[in-house]
Chains A and B, each alone.
Chain A
């Protein structure tokens, strides 16, 4: 988005200033020089690895068979997309993403409303709500592991004797979603709180005078006015949730059909040492994330962040 705005602005500049002075030109040169290190760093740390991953994904390249390296074009993509393991991991990832983001949105909104309306101890309430977000994901995931493991856990002890929820697909996925929701609801709440601040109190009072109940005020005034904030929050969280790795890695290692696409990519890269297939999976994840971002902006375009028509109704 920033790239497009810059691209449209730059050609316009010479028109606005037809004759440039020597000083202005020198200043532009300096500006370019000052930007150069940042651009070089960005290119080396992002563009190069991405380009290299794309190149690797076109090769048959297994570290264990260095002599059998060859160019296979899109062969790795065909192998991945025609494999049942990819699609089951894709289904698991999608389910985790949709369920956890939906729960987070509802809970986050409730928390945001509470934080917005709190009169006493506002700072304390906000701090308390933010604690889970401040805890390192892996550390939190380990405490969930122990809590749900029979023998070491207080939560597992609440279940009937002999049940080990982390070893079965559906219960384990439920725990993954729970850990995700617990962890990132505060983030959602914080983004929504910023949106709530945009709703003018006068409007709400006027609606109240006109006889609108609390539910009507929420659905007719607060939510429509918060739409840009909700979309930003949903976009961020969906992109994040789709790339889920750490919680699953610690909770189940992807066993018993709980692996996400990121876990599948990791296993193929770092357990099977298959750089070709693993890179193809990484690129596919990258494309999925791009498609999600694109869909958000196209479908909810009216209020997407950065669009010109923001706020149009």
Chain B
């Protein structure tokens, strides 16, 4: 049987073609002809980023319009979506909200553009040095710092001898051992689970001891000197201390916080979100006269004795170099409007927008001046220690292969109780070298 191609079929084909064409055009955006910059942000804080986009659109006075697009909540999923779009030559992706650890990878792969020298100089002005550092690769600025984050030592004042927090890990372990002998809460809460958090703990200890995982030229510097051995020894001692948390090898920031609130922990290293967290959780568990958690309504709760101090040092008298987190803004190489995007990035990270992110989103700003702003200080009781920690901060290894490096480090250091310093160090050097060279598999 044969079907003659009648007028009806031709009409149907025309309608189909027209539909496809219309959809394609609609998909390209900028229906009103103006410059539309699409701003991809993580889901956390998306409300504040959308408000910033609206404010900057107004401020641009018609030169461009910023459209905020929300990415998934998990960092890995965000990274995958951004990479897929850029590798697929998506021209409608202009501004990227990037984790501080992706800079080298995205820059080396040719996915983001370096900022022009003048814009880079403007961005550097007044920005915290360590935060600026996270956005650079091979001496150029690829991502402008928006938010930052850092860890502090959180402790139970009632359990400290003389009420004073420890200055170093040695002191901290001494206090914990004493508490365990008295059958009082002695857990030390750190990020011991097999994930990025464990790599961050190791990186903080290593740089506080004067070491570095990878140099920017790709050389693995982990094995130089005795810094790695000192760091690994501390990790092992924390995990095997008398009265250590039995679930330490499964703890992340969230479960650390809950363990602290349950009254069983004496110490915790964690981000400032734990402070509003304990208030939301009705102040945590009730405590008896020894400081142990109890179900009786003693009128004394964890929140009443919950204090913070600078992150413990590895060497006495040398402040810890805490690994910083945060979000940077970059311009994609596929963008059709790179010049406008650079201007928009500078607006999106201005003082007003950073203050909004800090107050409403709970993320510390990267503009130094904000730390003296009363509105910010009111919202951040721990602002002094946060600022101090940011001033001596360290950044994560700068390498395009950071993701693989982090995966192999966290796989090798978990569980922390089984770290065997000299042997683990040799294995770390070998596997990190393979990851840097992008050889072999990632677990």
- A residues with a Cβ closer than 8 A to B are 30, 62-66, 68, 79-80, 83, 85-86, 162, 164, 167, 255-256, 259, 264, 267-268, 270-274, 277, 281
Any chain A CB within 8 A of the CB of B439? yes
Q: Mark B85-104, 1 if CB is under 8 A from A, else 0.
A: 00100000000000000000
Return chain A residues, CB-CB under 8 Å to B195: 255
Beta-carbon contact of B441 and A63 below 8 Å: no
Beta-carbon contact of A272 and B83 below 8 Å: no
On whether A277 and B441 interact (CB within 8 A), knowing A66-B110, A256-B194, A271-B403, the answer reads yes
On whether A65 and B80 interact (CB within 8 A), knowing A268-B442, A271-B442, the answer reads no
Interface size on B, residues (CB 8 A): 27
Within 8 A of A (CB), among B385-410: 400-401, 403-404, 407
Return chain A residues, CB-CB under 8 Å to B438: 62, 64-65, 68, 272, 274
Return chain A residues, CB-CB under 8 Å to B2: 30
Q: How far is the CA of A167 from the CA of B192 in the complex (A)?
A: 12
The residue in chain B whose Cβ has the minimal distance to the Cβ of A272 is B442
With contacts A255-B195, A268-B442 known, what are 7 further pairs, Cβ within 8 A? A30-B2, A64-B105, A65-B109, A65-B438, A66-B110, A86-B441, A162-B247
| Selected contact of A272 from candidates B87, B108, B193, B404, CB within 8 Å | B404
Q: How far is the CA of A68 from the CA of B439 in the complex (A)?
A: 12
Return chain B residues, CB-CB under 8 Å to A80: 441
Q: How far is the CA of A270 from the CA of B87 in the complex (A)?
A: 13
Q: Mark B416-435, 1 if CB is under 8 A from A, else 0.
A: 00000000000000000000
| Selected contact of B439 from candidates A30, A79, A270, A281, CB within 8 Å | A79
The residue in chain B whose Cβ has the minimal distance to the Cβ of A83 is B441
On whether A273 and B83 interact (CB within 8 A), knowing A64-B108, A64-B438, A259-B443, the answer reads yes
Any chain A CB within 8 A of the CB of B122? no
Q: How far is the CA of A264 from the CA of B440 in the complex (A)?
A: 12
Q: Mark B144-175, 1 if CB is under 8 A from A, else 0.
A: 00000000000000000000000000000000
Any chain A CB within 8 A of the CB of B250? yes
Beta-carbon contact of A63 and B87 below 8 Å: yes
Return chain B residues, CB-CB under 8 Å to A271: 76, 80, 403, 407, 442
> B189: shortest Cβ distance to chain A, in Å?
15
* Nearest 4 pairs of A and B residues by beta carbon: A167-B250, A272-B442, A62-B438, A64-B400
Q: How far is the CA of A80 from the CA of B442 in the complex (A)?
A: 10
Beta-carbon contact of B108 and A85 below 8 Å: no
Any chain A CB within 8 A of the CB of B246? yes
The residue in chain A whose Cβ has the minimal distance to the Cβ of B104 is A64
Return chain B residues, CB-CB under 8 Å to A64: 105, 108-109, 400-401, 438
Q: How far is the CA of A277 from the CA of B246 in the complex (A)?
A: 37
**Which of B2, B108, B194, B439 counts the most chain A CB atoms within 10 A?**
B439
Within 8 A of A (CB), among B1-20: 1-2
> B68: shortest Cβ distance to chain A, in Å?
25
> B73: shortest Cβ distance to chain A, in Å?
14
Return chain B residues, CB-CB under 8 Å to A30: 1-2
The residue in chain B whose Cβ has the minimal distance to the Cβ of A61 is B438
Interface of B is mostly: loop
On whether A79 and B108 interact (CB within 8 A), knowing A164-B247, A164-B250, A273-B83, the answer reads no
**Which of B1, B110, B401, B442 counts the most chain A CB atoms within 10 A?**
B442
Q: How far is the CA of A256 from the CA of B1 in the complex (A)?
A: 62
Beta-carbon contact of B404 and A63 below 8 Å: no
Return chain B residues, CB-CB under 8 Å to A164: 247, 250
Return chain A residues, CB-CB under 8 Å to B442: 85, 267-268, 271-272, 274
Return chain B residues, CB-CB under 8 Å to A268: 441-442
**Which of B195, B438, B439 counts the most chain A CB atoms within 10 A?**
B438
Return chain A residues, CB-CB under 8 Å to B441: 79-80, 83, 85-86, 264, 268, 277, 281
> B208: shortest Cβ distance to chain A, in Å?
28
Beta-carbon contact of B440 and A79 below 8 Å: yes
> A278: shortest Cβ distance to chain B, in Å?
9
Return chain B residues, CB-CB under 8 Å to A270: 80
Q: How far is the CA of A287 from the CA of B158 in the complex (A)?
A: 62
The residue in chain B whose Cβ has the minimal distance to the Cβ of A269 is B80
Return chain A residues, CB-CB under 8 Å to B246: 162
Q: How far is the CA of A65 from the CA of B437 in the complex (A)?
A: 10
Q: How far is the CA of A162 from the CA of B259 in the complex (A)?
A: 11
A/B interface sample: 5 pairs, CB < 8 A? A83-B440, A164-B250, A167-B250, A256-B194, A267-B407
Q: How far is the CA of A30 from the CA of B250 in the complex (A)?
A: 65
Return chain B residues, CB-CB under 8 Å to A277: 440-441
Q: How far is the CA of A162 from the CA of B400 in the complex (A)?
A: 39
Beta-carbon contact of B109 and A63 below 8 Å: yes
Return chain A residues, CB-CB under 8 Å to B109: 63-66, 273
On whether A272 and B247 interact (CB within 8 A), knowing A79-B441, A86-B441, A264-B441, the answer reads no
Beta-carbon contact of B443 and A63 below 8 Å: no
Beta-carbon contact of B400 and A65 below 8 Å: yes
Q: How far is the CA of A62 from the CA of B194 in the complex (A)?
A: 24
Return chain A residues, CB-CB under 8 Å to B83: 63, 273
The residue in chain A whose Cβ has the minimal distance to the Cβ of B74 is A253
Q: How far is the CA of A272 from the CA of B437 in the complex (A)?
A: 12
